[in-house]
Homo-oligomer: A and B are copies of this chain.
Amino acid sequence: MSKYVIGVDYGTDSVRSIIADASNGKEIASDVFYYPRWAAGKFCNPLQNQFRQHPLDYIEGLAVTVKNALARSPAGVAGQVVAISVDTTGSTPVAVDKSGTPLSMLPEFEDNPNAMFVLWKDHTATREADEINTLARSWGGTDYTKYEGGVYSSEWFWAKVLHVLRADDQVRKAAYSWVEHCDWIPALLTGETNPLTLKRSRCAAGHKAMWHPDFKGLPPEEFLVKLDPLLKGLRERLFTETFTCDVKVGNLSAEWSKKLGLPETVAIGAGAFDAHLGAIGGEIKPYYLSKVMGTSTCDMLIVPMEESGNKLVKGICGQVDGSIIPGMMGLEAGQSAFGDIYAWFRDLLLWPVEELLSQSSLVDQATKDKLVLEIADQIIPELSAKAEKIPIGESGIVALDWMNGRRTPDANQLLKGAIFGLNLGSDAPRIFRALVEATAFGAKKIVDRFVSEGVRIDGIVALGGVAKKSPFVMQVVADVLNMPILVARSEQACALGTAMAAATVAGLYPTVLDAQKAMGNGYEMEYKPIKENADVYSRLYDLYSESGAFVEHFSKKL
């Protein structure tokens, strides 16, 4: 009798659930749900880089997608599901009460952005990140940022927690503890949401919350209180132990068993970040940088523990034993915006269509709506087709990809994007090309940092929407990196990796690597660098670096 596993993959805009055959990874059915409150722009303020998500978007999406995927499966599949694992974005923490309920689920906080999940790309906590960095380097004790690249980011747990505690008296008074999105969903499914005992993810804790075995857990109370007395007592209401994605946290609760139509015997796995499980589903291998290329990038590397030694890599998001593959050192880096930059430019160009077409009396409303969608869909493909034909370096335009700050190397979310070399002939395809090159240069900065810190990189494994759908972008990246890029075949690497984790949690495979071997589906193609292009890009990369050095100094004044 076949056994099935469910992988639930929470992305920035939507959640996807897949049902996979645990023996070979074959997808039986899937469903996607777009968060309605998020799609309506609620609780966000993009100009202030404030991005918050309501837990109901997550809960509704979980129920709808699992049920729809089951409905699309052959009869009897539901009874043969053995495990569910979950991945989410992160660091995406939320304040919870004593029962582990996010405050925004309570009537008095239902519209308060500070009671919502603080999404990975929220940058409201830049000041708090600064303070953490300053204190960590000056307080005379251990530098607790050292396993996170030596630079703490406003995208991470402690900066966000402290920012909200400072910004909102009501939330501060009501917040008993804090939970990452990837820890809360498994807890919800098991019904055991007590924040003092729910099982926390190793990758969230290690990469974003300064948790490390050397520190015996989170940074000590002394450090936290020195950072801000507001943090007093919080540490003991958090956690000391963490769990890799092959660990079972419990079984499906009666409530959710009923809600989803699944047996209570279903095992629930410890959660992890989307990119980390995506790396597993996307055929990560040692010394190949696994790049999840979507709105942002998450760049992961695994190094066998015996080869990783105790060496620290400066300026990345961190290195954590078992954060990706249990038993291997997981290193993480990434770019705060990648596809988001192309989307920003698309939306910029769409302004006249959205603002002015709607006022026209030349066409009816239904046609206008269709036109807007039609044009919006075509902008990036058409820009890519045009940009591809422009000789490299011809336009003289150089851009910086810091429209959402810089995650690595050397996190600095206060940085901003820039475009240089504009003249009256700088048209949309030329600017788009420069933006694509800028994102590729940002990728090269990360590779260069690993190499200069003594970690070799043999090649790239790419996954995510950009890797699958943008051959122009991928060739630019291959040329800029002057490195081959393998593209993973899986269309839904995160969901598949989560299914692999679930199969391991269910005891069907002894390790995640065994699950990957049985359930993975290899690479679909390879982008090879073109030498002449690489040579020209090498000169442009120097200009990117030079302008970056100026903007790094200049951005803080803007």
Contact = CB atoms under 8 A, between A and B. Distances in A.
Between A356, A398, A419, A547, the greatest number of chain B beta carbons within 10 A of the residue's beta carbon is seen for A356
Interface string A445-472: 0000000000000000000000000000
Please classify the interface of chain A as helix (H, G, I), strand (E, B), loop, or mixed, using the class held by over half of its residues: helix
Contacts of A356: 374-375, 378-379, 382
A353 B352 contact: yes
Contacts of A236: none
A397 B551 CA distance: 12
Contacts of A427: 347-348, 351
A362 B357 contact: no
Nearest to A45: B425
Interface in A41-65: 46-49
Contacts of A362: 363, 367, 370-371, 374
A403 B419 contact: no
> How many chain copies does the complex carry?
2
Interface string A339-373: 01100100111111101110110110001001100
A404 interface: yes
Contact of A352 (B48, B375, B396, B558): B375
Interface string A402-438: 0110000000000011111111111110010000000
Interface in A505-558: 543, 546-547, 550-551, 554-555, 557-558
B355 A382 contact: yes
A403 B547 CA distance: 18
Interface of A: 46-49, 337, 340-341, 344, 347-353, 355-357, 359-360, 362-363, 367, 370-371, 374-375, 378-379, 382, 394-398, 403-404, 416-428, 431, 543, 546-547, 550-551, 554-555, 557-558
Given A344-B426, A356-B374, A362-B367, 10 more contacts: A49-B424, A360-B375, A363-B371, A398-B558, A403-B426, A416-B421, A416-B422, A419-B419, A420-B551, A546-B554
5 contacts: A46-B425, A351-B428, A352-B353, A398-B558, A420-B554
